[in-house]
Structures are given as structure tokens and as C-alpha cells.
Amino acid sequence: MRGGLWQLGQSITRRLAQGDKKAVARRYFASDAELKKTVVYDFHVANGGKMVPFAGWSMPIQYKDSIMDSTLNCRENGSLFDVSHMCGLSLKGKDSVPFLEKLVIADVAGLAPGTGSLTVFTNEKGGAIDDSVITKVKDDHIYLVVNAGCRDKDLAHIEEHMKAFKAKGGDVSWHIHDERSLLALQGPLAAPVLQHLTKADLSKMYFGGFQVLDINGVQCFLTRTGYTGEDGFEISIPSESAVDLAKAILEKSEGKIRLTGLGARDSLRLEAGLCLYGNDLEQHITPIEAGLTWAIGKRRRAEGGFLGADVILKQLEEGPKIRRVGFFSSGPPPRSHSEIQDEGGNNIGEVTSGGFSPCLKKNIAIGYVKSGLHKAGTKVKIIIRGKFNEGVVTKMPFVPTKYYKPS
């Protein structure tokens, strides 16, 4: 999926509009036998979902509305995403926190029970194996979600280190939540609509918070988080109840919250300046270079103790050689791998994600440039299909975030 879900969605929309359904099937759709399906698959198809291969799953890229309209509706009302292709797992045992701290940059010990944070799994060179939202449920129970495309390597990595940790007497075990599905409810109507389906007072649950509670009569794991820059929730629910919950949310919203696909999800996260693993974050990119220094806890900066800590702490002290930045640009929307040059014609980096912002009505992009050329206002040239386009480095997020935090 490198190159952008946004561009993929636009290409599918154009071909479908031209009536070229056979070409779409040949180009984008693998045979059903090759792809896994979430329990919400039939519900997607019944509601007009255009299904495409993504990380080994058949997932909706969009529905009957355009990606532009879906993006705007999420910001104005709300969106419901099926993200059940992602992998939820629990670590349990009295040593689950020290175990996880060997693998991630977060100060897991410093999290209060019922709170969480974005973190990064690092390798020995300080590069990112994956990014993940982790939650300390209790001192002996960590819940985390990893990316679908990284599932196999992440689980192998965790298992390898867990075996070594347990061999030395460590008390930790894990459970992969394949019996559960994951729905993401995002946008200004997310909280008021979900409040209709639970007795818990959601106004007391802030961004990053976690609770186990009944929603629509079923016990769920609820995290106040998301991937859009809007307020919202990720709801882990037993798979047999996922479609009923999706129907209930859409019904309670009176049509204002819409089913939304991966195309709009990509444009929403891009507007929010969030990394997409495989594009903006990879094995050779460190959290410092990616602008995720804030995710490294103060204690972890002092103590280290995670894979690649020597590289990362040195970058903290001396500064990285490259930095992730945002851009506005003219011409066609930048694509992944578009070359970035300074005004003198020297190569200074490349675009990792780009597209047209439905909210700002202009091109936006994320990429990496040499340190010293990363400051907002720096003028650049972005090369797209051999042509030079004017660009300027800008601060992120492009669209202000609206996370629900204590006032």
C-alpha cells in the first residue's frame, strides 16, 4: 500500500465512474480465497463498501460517498471504521511492565492504571519495528494494538524476547485477541452517540483513557483514542457482537455518523500529521527522526534499557541528521518517494506520504529532510513526474486536533 490509500481510492473512484469495473477487479482485487475477512465484511458489502486488499485482508477503501465527502463528514459529524484487521493483545503477569519496557520507548511503569500512550517498538539500531498504542489496564496487565501489516513480525519479535525473559525467571504471558473485533468511532458526535449505548459516564474519560465496560449490553475494552485527530474511541468487542454494535451506533446517530473506509482514514490521519507505518515510519527510521521524541518518557531518557537506546539517546543529545516535517505544495499532490530539493537544486530528502486535503483544499505531505532545513517556512522544490513544484515546510498537524483532554 505504499504510495497512499488516498491515491488508490481516487483511482478506483475514477475507474468505477467510467464503468470500468472489470479493470478495477483485475487491478485491485485479489481472489476471495487469498484474503482474510473481518466479521463485518458482509455488512460492508451490503452498505456499498468497495473492498480492496490491505495487509492480507479484504477491507473497504470507501463506500457510496466519495473519500472527500467521508473525510469532511468525519470532521463535521463522525465516522465508524472497521479496524478489526489490526491485532490486539494482552500481556499479563507481575513482570509484564519491565518486559515490555525492554521493547518499547514508553515509560510504561509511569502510566497510571487505565491510561495509555502511543509508543514505538525499536530494533537494535534504534529503528522502528512498529508503532503501537499501549494501555496499562492494571500493574500486571498491558493491552496493546499493533498494525495489521506488522502483525507477523511483531508477534515473532515479542515471542522471541518473551522466551528469553521467561527463561531467566520473568513472569509474563500473552493472549492474542483473535476472538475480538475492533471498531473505531471518530468525530464530534462520537461521544454523544456512544453515551446512548453505555451507562458509564464518558465525560470523565479523557484522551488516552481505557475502561472495561458494557456497551450495547456487551463487555468491551474502550480506549479514548484514534487515528484522525478528532475525539473518538476504539472499541474492542467480542466478534459475534461487532455488527450489532455497528448497527446500533449508526442508528443512534440518525444517519450523521457514516461507515468510512481506509481512503478517508488515510486523508484524516495525514491532515492530523500522524505517521503511517511503512510510509512515514520504518525499520531504518528512529523515533527522534520521526518527531516522536515526546513519546520517550523522562525516566527512559535517563535510564535507557530498550533496544537501540544507545543510538536514540545519542540522537537526543546531538540531534538527528534527518527530520520528519510537513509540507504545503503546488501542482499535483505529492506522492510517496517524490524527491525534495532545496532552492539550489540539491537533494535534501523525500516525501513519504502526500495527498489533497479535503478540509484545507490544498496539497499536504509528510517527508524527511536534512536537519537545518526542517524549519517552518523553508522553501523547497518537490519533484513529481519529472516536474518541479513549489513547496514550503510547515508545522503539523495541518488540521488542529480535537482530543478530549481535561480543561
193 and 262 share one domain: yes
**Domain boundaries, position 258:** 40-85+179-271
- SS3 assignment, position 181: strand
Q: Is residue 285 assigned to a domain? A: no
Residue 2, pLDDT above cutoff 90: no
Q: CA 231 to CA 190: how far, in whole Å?
A: 7
- Is position 374 within any domain? yes
Q: Which residues of 347-376 are buried (b: 16+ CB within 10 A; e: fewer)?
A: ebbbbbbbbbbbbeeebbbbbbbbeebbee
Share of the chain above pLDDT 90, in %: 91
Residue pLDDT, tens place only, 99-110 = 999 999 999 999
The pLDDT value given to residue 21: 47
Task: Give the end of a domain, one of 212, 238, 271.
Answer: 271
pLDDT tens digits along 144-168: 999 999 999 999 999 999 999 999 9
Instruction: Report the distance separating Cα 111 and Cα 163, nearest Å.
Output: 25
Say yes or no: 263 and 330 in one domain: no
Region 259-275 average pLDDT: 98
Residue ranges at the known binding site for substrate: 234
Query: What pLDDT score does 34 carry?
Result: 87
116-138 burial, b at 16+ Cβ within 10 Å, e below that, comes to bbbbbbbbeebbbbbbbbbbbbe
- Does a structural domain hold residue 13? no
How far is the C-alpha of 123 from the C-alpha of 280, rounded, in Å? 17
Asked if residue 142 is part of any domain, the answer here is no
* 338 and 227 within one domain: no
Residues 78 and 204 in one domain: yes
**Is position 196 within any domain?**
yes
Structural domain contains residue 407 = no
Nearest Cα residue to 191 out of 257, 242, 135:
257
Cα–Cα distance for residue pair 248/244, rounded to 1 Å: 6
Percent with pLDDT over 70 in the chain: 92
The Cα–Cα gap between 250 and 181 comes to: 17
Query: CA-to-CA distance for 188 and 213, rounded, in angstroms?
Result: 21
The answer to whether position 79 is within a domain reads: yes
Q: Residue type for 262, please?
A: L
- The pLDDT assigned to 71 comes to 98
Segment 352-383, tens digit of pLDDT: 999 999 999 999 999 999 999 999 999 999 99
Q: How confident is the model at residue 5 (pLDDT cuts 50, 70, 90)?
A: low
H-assigned helices in 283-362: 298-303, 309-318
Q: 257 in a domain, yes or no?
A: yes
Q: What pLDDT is stored for residue 407 in this prediction?
A: 87
Candidate from 8-22, 68-82, 131-145, 258-272 with smallest mean pLDDT: 8-22
How far apart CA 118 and CA 146 sit, in angstroms, is 11
pLDDT of 4 over the 70 cut: no
CATH number at residue 394: 2.40.30.110
Tell whether 260 and 342 lie within a shared domain. no
Domain total of the chain: 2
Q: Give residue 319's region: left, alpha or beta (phi > 0; psi -120 to 50).
A: left
Residue 66 and residue 187 in one domain: yes
Per the annotation, binding residues are 234
Question: Which CATH number is 244's domain given?
Answer: 3.30.1360.120
The last residue of a domain, from among 271, 303, 330: 271
- Tens of pLDDT, residues 188-225: 999 999 999 999 999 999 999 999 999 999 999 999 99
Q: Check: CB of residue 131 under 8 Å from CB of residue 276.
A: no
b/e sequence 302-328, b meaning 16+ C-beta within 10 Å: eeeebbbbebbbebbeeebebbbbbbb
